[in-house]
Amino acid sequence: MPNIPKDPAMLLSYINTQLRDYYPSLEECCHSLGIQPEDLTLPLAAIDYHYDRERNQFL
């Protein structure tokens, strides 16, 4: 896995910034980073954050 934060709170901040600034979708972000969506959705779901496709961010 690429060098992304392991701590869920830091991951939330990192991935929402990536989505806002660089990627129009979670799928494109994951493809570019070389990871599976579950690598993000599972740790963030553990802290009660879920991807909102319409807003393109985890809420």
Q: What is the pLDDT of residue 1?
A: 56
Domain boundaries, the chain: 8-58
Q: What is the pLDDT of residue 3?
A: 86
Structure letter (DSSP) for residue 24: S
Read off the pLDDT of residues 41-54 as tens digits, 9 standing for 90 and up. Answer: 999 999 999 999 99
| Alpha carbons 51 and 56: distance in angstroms, whole number | 7
| Structural contact between residues 19 and 30, judged by C-beta atoms closer than 8 angstroms | no
| Structural contact between residues 23 and 35, judged by C-beta atoms closer than 8 angstroms | no
User: The pTM is what?
Assistant: 0.92
Judged against a pLDDT cut of 90, whether residue 33 lies above it is answered with: yes
Give the whole-number percent of the chain exceeding pLDDT 90: 95
Read off the pLDDT of residues 2-11 as tens digits, 9 standing for 90 and up. Answer: 789 999 999 9
